[in-house]
Amino acid sequence: MDTKIPSQITFDDFREFCNSAKLKPTHQRFEIYRELNSATDHPSAEMLYQRVKTNVPSVSLETVYRTLATFEQHGIIVRINAFGDRARFDANLTVHQHLACTNCLAICDFTWTAFEKLELPAQTGNWGRIESQQVVVKGLCNSCLEKESSA
Amino acid sequence: MDTKIPSQITFDDFREFCNSAKLKPTHQRFEIYRELNSATDHPSAEMLYQRVKTNVPSVSLETVYRTLATFEQHGIIVRINAFGDRARFDANLTVHQHLACTNCLAICDFTWTAFEKLELPAQTGNWGRIESQQVVVKGLCNSCLEKESSA
DNA sequence: CTAGTTGCAAATCCTTTGCGCCAGT
DNA sequence: ACTGGCGCAAAGGATTTGCAACTAG
């Protein structure tokens, strides 16, 4: 993957990406990408489905799943397995890490420059070919901490 | 891959743990814990079930799930969500990170001292209370790389 | 027209739960 | 005996798939 996607894309931009990826630039794909790209909460397939439905009432959850899988294979989105129950997705391809609340399951981004500068220990090179590395920091977000203390 | 980490809890510890946690030290629980504790491949519930069955043929998969959940709640094992499809488990409580092969789904440990010395960026303190942080490094293990090149 | 996509329904797969029986203290 | 745990069967919930209709190029 290589095609650079600006943060706000038009249907024409999307069409261009689809052409280079040999994908049909359908209405559904465009809306799913646009919705994910404008989200900051790392939605699940179901969450995304609900949002896309407001613009494309006829869209199906299966299409959302299939489209997300396609996008992931083409490297324009990333799947986040912070929690075991459902996959979460992210269209932000810049290097960043995630904070995940184990109570409300909110996920948010943060940058960790010191980490990004680190090199993997040499031994990992003997294991195979590294393709990605990701930190997930878990805890309780402020809002859940408040609820906890007032309970 | 390498880095043998010898500090896993012993059976006396486990017995003691059951007492202090007010859990009945049943045959099943002992065997499930022992099997996980001696594994280095971060088995899933199903994998563990197959192994425990050789010693306790009557054990059920549901008991494995329930027992793992109990152990996790009591903090003597850790759940790993490296892949979205199934949870993997680890009885090694020492600080370490994971290498995960996206092809064969093997997971192995490695230590990353430089990472462990790092402090989280200050901004994360404003988010809430941090409870854990974990790196997952993904790629293709050597064995899968070989298969790929000979295919 | 033609191949790739979609929606629908059904299937899969992992995991959890209700319940009566069994086991450990 | 009491209480919690177990196995069984069934349910639940996320995700995938077969298929016929549809649509973009």
Residue B3 has pLDDT above 80, yes or no: no
Q: A28 beta carbon < 7 A from strand D?
A: no
pLDDT of residue A66: 98
Q: B29 beta carbon < 7 A from strand D?
A: yes
Q: How far is CA A143 from CA A93, A98, A119, B122, B130, in A?
A: 27, 17, 35, 18, 13
Nearest Cα neighbor of B50 from B64, B34, B33 is B64
Residue B2 has pLDDT above 50, yes or no: no
Nearest to A128 among B3, B129, B140 (CB): B140
pLDDT of residue A98: 98
pLDDT band, residue B11 (cuts 50/70/90):
low
Q: Tell me, in Å, how far CA of A27 is from C1' of C7?
A: 14
B19 nearest nucleotide via C1' and CA: C25
B44 nearest nucleotide via C1' and CA: C14
pLDDT digits (tens, 9 = 90+) for B14-70: 788 898 999 999 999 999 999 999 999 999 999 999 999 999 999 999 999 999 999
DSSP element (H, E) containing A117? helix A113-117
Do B142 and A130 make contact, defined as CB atoms within 8 angstroms?
no
pLDDT of residue A55: 95
DSSP element (H, E) containing A22? none
Q: What are phi and psi of B96, to 5 degrees?
A: -165, 170
pLDDT of residue B4: 40
Q: Where are the alpha helices (DSSP H) in chain B?
A: 11-20, 27-38, 45-55, 61-73, 113-117, 142-149
pLDDT of residue B9: 63
For residue B60, the SS3 value is coil
A58 nearest nucleotide via C1' and CA: C7
Structure tokens at A30: 């465009």
| Per-block mean pLDDT, blocks of 10 residues, chain A (151 long) | 54 84 95 96 98 97 98 95 96 96 96 97 96 96 90 66
Q: Which residue has the tokens 């809306």?
A: A31
Q: Is B24 exposed, middle or buried (0-12, 13-18, 19+ CB in 10 A)?
A: exposed
pLDDT digits (tens, 9 = 90+) for B60-73: 999 999 999 999 99
pLDDT of residue A1: 41
Q: B41 beta carbon < 7 A from strand C?
A: no
Q: Does the beta carbon of B138 lie under 8 angstroms from any beta carbon of chain A?
A: yes
Q: Tell me, in Å, how far CA of B65 is from C1' of C16?
A: 9
pLDDT of residue B16: 86
Give B138's contacts (C-beta < 8 A, 6+ positions apart). Answer: A130, A131, A132, A133, A134, B82, B99, B100, B101, B102
Q: A117 beta carbon < 7 A from strand C?
A: no
Task: Give me the helix-helix angle, B61-73 and B27-38, nearest 10°.
Answer: 70
Query: Quick check: A100 and A141 in contact, CB under 8 A?
Result: no
pLDDT of residue B5: 38
Nearest to A140 among B129, B140, B144 (CB): B129
